[in-house]
Structure 1
Amino acid sequence: MHLEFQQYIEKEKLFSPTDKIILAVSGGVDSMVMMELFRQLNLDFVVAHCNFRLRGHESDADEIFMRDYCGENAIELFVNHFDTLEYAKLEGISIEMAARELRYNWFNELIESLQYDLLATAHHQDDLVETMLINLSRGTGIRGLSGIQPKTGKIIRPLLFANRIQIMNFASSAQISFREDSSNEELVYQRNLIRHKIIPLFEEINPAFRKNLNRTASILRETESIYQQKIEEEIDRIIVDNNDSYKISIDLLSESKSKNTVLFELLHPKGFNNDQVREIIQSLDGEAGKTFFSKTHRLVKDRKFLLLTRIEETSANRFYIEEDCLSIENPISLSFEHFEKKLDFRFSTSRQIAEFDADLLKFPLIIKKWDQGEYFQPLGMEGFKKISDFFVDEKISIPQKENTWILYSGSKVVWIIGKRMDNRFKITENTQKVFRIIYNQ
């Protein structure tokens, strides 16, 4: 395996012998094998270990194992602790996604602070198969179907030449210590469900399923390079690049036989999704002025061009309100009151004042700008409505949209500040405590 490892690095041009590399090591068999192979080649590396605090004593035992192993072998180790459950709750995302975001954010910080060249992860062929199936289930383009790439930016994956059986056999023959992760057997995680249930069903149909899918991924990677070259030619043909903005010719885009694909490849890196791209295509023959948003960009349909511009970074900021906070001045001026609901309580009719059932709120509350595709339940309605549709119905202009702040409890909208409250947090006859917010506009 040592020789195959070296040959794969050379074949894929993953790094040079002088590169300094951070290894992401969990303590599991895959990453421990990767670290051992780096040691055998006498490469310049340090180790980064994440404690996500998801498995109690097991997570702490993994950290202790890594500290002992690296200490005994004179390997420099960096450890970070994460409150993964809290982060997932605040961001309104899955635990898997939260762990991914947390670790890669930290890895990027480490690369920059240590001035290292690359980060190596221990993904292998079985991970590639699982990723292809996950992407297929979500709906993806050719890039997603080609699975995990050997190198993406500063991230390298030097074990993609090997499968799990080869890795286990090498660990056994080289007597490599490692930790078992009990969560790998839990079917609640999407990847584990695919690993333990779906792939075995495919292997009943064809025992060579994993091998064939890896071969397909290799073919698709070559196909993608050809595809990408053609896409770039089409993009160059239809856009006029003005620094941080684009003018996309509607006439030239409409002439393209692959306009949906070309526009998706152009806009997806800017945060737009498939549904938005379809809406934009449908708007090409419509009136000027229709606007579409991603988290980072705004696209306006003009008479002859689609105008794509970056949204100011300040609009992506988020601000937290603790339960004992009395007022804030940034990003907007708000005052807060807590009090018991009395029999003579009367709702305020002012749009500048919002009153909620305090027991339904989860602190800290969050204030940030709205995201495209978000829904809320307007006060007095049983159904949900897109925030973007609410803005249209209220005839709110583009500058007003960009200056509108939203209050959230976890991932749920509480109040489109100064405009409409959410029905899920309203005061009822059962309410005992009231949380009042005054918008000092």
Structure 2
Amino acid sequence: MTKDLLQLFRENWKSKQLAEADQQILLAVSGGVDSMVLADLFRRSGIKFGMAHCNYQLRDEASNLDEQLVTDWAKQHDIPFFQVRFDTKKVKEEWKMGTQEAARVLRYEWLDNLRTTHGYHFIATAHHANDNVETVLMNLFKGTGISGLHGIREKNDRIIRPLLFVNKEEIRQYAAENAVPFREDASNETDVYLRNAIRNNVIPVVEARIPNVVQQVNESIARFAQAEVLYRKQIEKEKKRLIEQRGKDWYIPVKKLRKQEALETMVYELFHPYGFSSAQVSQLLQLLETETGHYANSATHRVIRHRDFLVITEQAAEATDLILIEGAPGVVHTADGSLHLSIHTGLDVIPTDKSIACVDFSKMEFPLVLRKWKIGDYFYPFGMNMKKKKVSKFFIEQKLAIHEKERAWVLVSGERIVWVAGMRLDERFKLKPDTQHVLKMEWR
């Protein structure tokens, strides 16, 4: 394959339609054999490209020698060149990240900024077939599920990887035959990182028994990627059948979900987008057998068993203790809704929508207070003949779920609750025949 690598590269580039002829590519170049070979293939193929090199300053003089090699090669071949130096050790401490993760974030932020600033269409990296195998094995070991089996995407948004069809040995042979300069990264020989351990200890052992294992695994990866497309289509179809959105929340019928084939997989796919991990699947399954009020939390969402449904709701945000309303008209915004106040001289028709309430403006003691309800709150629900009731009991009678209670606000005048916003007015503030000015309240 080595003798024809340039031709095969051109054919792959064209058949995969990685970029149009007039589009420019920004190539990330480390100075290692992979990226230097890709630079040479770009140059020989007449592809319009620039080179970008990051010096992470992690390997002392070796990092500077990498930088010098890439700089000299770009200058020799008159290739547009960009370089940057990062204090990676300092950044990883500030960001509380691992070295590799911090370097990756720094690299891609810088590359994408270069791309947009200088008019490049894509960023190219030199990932190859061996990298693809390593990635899939890492994902298997980490338990990423089917999404980890598709490997590295050849084209993903603005990033392209034109060497995924080539293995490491073929890259090295091309470099030797075409006198492509490169530098070895000594850190690749250590097993500090999982990828290096797989590269240095796992794959060589398998290759000793199955010489073409990299090719075979890559063929399987391609099939996994196609199978995932079908899998995702079916998952989305099932989601549409099972999930009903109601306002800010999503409702899933327990009976329907119980009948689902491959229940554990379906539960994972339903709730993973809301921050739930595979380790929480058993906890979520238990909600199918529990009573109203039980729930499971992720960092961002909560799944609540409410009667015959599992309800997915956002975690309640930390709310301001109270909001003072100095006068009307006006609008007050909260994380759970907005209170719109307007003043009217009489109303021909009293709205029946529970999200709207009308009260006698003269009975209001400003500033009004809009706050979350609390234990011990009570009011006199409209239509109950001045019977006093705790707000908590009112919620139970209204069959509110936990998340609905958490989002409930009350409007207070003096020491008295005027309105459980969007639910029920207090009898003491209802309109009377002699009311002259009406305060109209809308909870949206």
Fold agreement, TM-score > 0.5: yes
Say whether the 8 Å CA contact 2:26–2:123 is kept in structure 1. yes
For 1:266 and 1:256, the matched residues in 2 are separated by 12
Deviates more, 1:275-284 or 1:49-58: 275-284
What residue number does 1:298 align with? 301
The one-letter code matched in structure 2 to 1:218 is A
Contact kept, 8 Å, 2:249 with 2:311, in 1: the verdict is: no
Amino acid in structure 1 at the alignment position of 2:14: E
Paired residue type of 1:87: V
Which of 5, 8, 13 does residue 4 from structure 1 map onto? 8
- Pair 265,106 (structure 1): closer, same or farther in 2 beyond 3 Å: farther
TM-aligned CA distance change 1:125 to 1:113, over 3 Å:
same
Paired-residue identity, %: 36
Structure of greater Rg: 2
Going from structure 1 to structure 2, the CA distance change for 1:69 and 1:247 (only over 3 Å counts) comes to farther
* Per-residue deviation, residues 182-238 of structure 1 (Å, max 9, x unmatched): 111122222121111111111233223222212211221221122122112112222
Specify the code of the residue in structure 2 equivalent to 1:78.
F
Choose from 36, 43, 50 the match for 2:40: 36
Matched AA of 1:260? E
- For residues 247 and 50 of structure 1, do their structure 2 counterparts lie closer, same or farther at Cα, with a shift above 3 Å needed? farther
How far 1:243 moved relative to its partner? Answer: 8.8
The corresponding residue for 2:199 is 195
Q: Unpaired segments of 5 or more residues in structure 1? A: 313-396, 402-441
Q: Provide closer, same or farther for how the CA distance between residues 168 and 278 of structure 1 changes in structure 2, counting only shifts above 3 A.
A: same
CA distance in 2, matches of 1:254, 1:110: 51
Separation in structure 1 between the aligned mates of residue 84 and residue 196 of structure 2, nearest angstrom: 25
SS at match of 2:103: helix
Question: Does the CA contact (< 8 Å) of 2:58 and 2:88 recur in 1?
Answer: yes
Segments of 5+ residues of structure 2 without an aligned counterpart are 318-401, 407-444
Output the amino acid matched with 2:297.
Answer: F
Residue 398 of structure 1, CA deviation: 9.1
Distance 2:198 2:52 in 1: 27
Task: State the partner residue of 2:160.
Answer: 156
Secondary structure in structure 2 of the residue aligned to 1:80: strand
The one-letter code matched in structure 1 to 2:312 is L
**In 1, Cα distance between the equivalents of 2:111 and 2:316?**
26
Q: Tell me, in whole angstroms, the C-alpha distance in 1 between the residues paired with 2:267 and 2:155.
A: 25
1:283 aligns with 2:287: yes
Secondary structure in structure 1 of the residue aligned to 2:289:
coil
Separation of aligned partners in 2, 1:309 and 1:3 = 53
Conserved 8 A contact 1:250-1:284? yes
- Structure 1 distance, partners of 2:223, 2:75, is 43
Contact 1:122 1:159 in 2 (8 A): yes
Check whether the contact 1:260–1:277 (CA below 8 A) recurs between aligned residues: yes
Q: 1:31 to 1:259 in 2, by over 3 A?
A: same
CA distance in 2, matches of 1:231, 1:260: 13
Contact kept? 1:21, 1:45, Cα under 8 Å: yes
The CA deviation at 1:58 is 0.9
Deviations 1:310-331 (A, max 9, x none): 898xxxxxxxxxxxxxxxxxxx
- Per-residue CA deviations over 1:316-350 (Å, capped at 9, x if unaligned) read xxxxxxxxxxxxxxxxxxxxxxxxxxxxxxxxxxx
Cα RMSD (Å): 3.0
Q: Provide Cα deviations, 1:33-76, integer angstroms capped at 9, x if missing partner.
A: 11111122222322221111110111122122222222232222
Amino acid at match of 1:298: H
> Bigger shift: 278-287 or 160-169?
278-287
> How far, CA to CA, are the matches of 2:58 and 2:41 in structure 1?
29
How does the TM-score come out when normalised to structure 2? 0.64
Q: Is the 8 A contact 1:245 1:310 kept in 2?
A: no
Question: TM-score when scaled to structure 1?
Answer: 0.64
Q: CA deviation at 1:94?
A: 2.8
| 8 Å CA contact 1:119, 1:154 repeated in 2 | yes
SS at 1:26 equivalent: coil
Counterpart of 1:301 in 2: which secondary structure? Answer: strand
- Classify the secondary structure of the residue corresponding to 1:88: helix
What one-letter code is carried by the residue in structure 1 that aligns with 2:59?
A: R
